[in-house]
Amino acid sequence: MSDGTQLDEAAVGALQDVLATEHAALWSYALAVAFLAPDQLAAARTDATAHRELRGGVEATLTQFGQRPVSAQPAYATPKPVVDAASAAALLVTAETDAAAAWRSLLERGSDRGLRRAGLDALTDTAARCARWRGVVGATPAVPVFPGRP
């Protein structure tokens, strides 16, 4: 994920933020699959796998640079109760939106070329996942003008 140069404090902080967001996204997907419609389960599982791979890459990068990766929380607060397929899909929109913001922050705070490339790839993929879930909940536009921007 990195080009091998030393990471500055800002980049390490951004990576830790990304990792915390990836932990939360995985927790959100685990909750959501209990409520999603059967035709949405394959996409949710694919998306969870993508987040699991991203999380693993971030953990490996932090460890490579002698940093202790932040741990996942035992549970996370959802913005609204998840009680059906619609609220589960809305939770996934939130998870992907949060992930996009974290990856965008890595782009803004990191100077390592390899990290910036990985961040851009992750931001692009996150925007695509978010667009799919925004479509499920009927949010417009399906893709925000600047993914990851509040």
- pLDDT tens column, 32-87: 999 999 999 999 999 999 999 999 999 999 999 999 999 999 999 999 999 999 99
The CATH number fitting domain 9-136, selected from 2.40.110.20, 1.10.150.390, 1.20.1260.10, 3.40.50.20: 1.20.1260.10
- Percent composition of the chain: helix, strand, coil (DSSP 3-state, to 5): 65, 0, 35
pLDDT of residue 147: 76
Instruction: Look at the block and give the residue holding tokens 């992750």.
Output: 122
Helix, strand counts (H, E) of the chain: 4, 0
Enter the pTM of the model.
0.93
- Rounded Cα distance, 25 and 20, in Å: 9
Residue type, 9: E
Q: Where are the domains of the chain?
A: 9-136
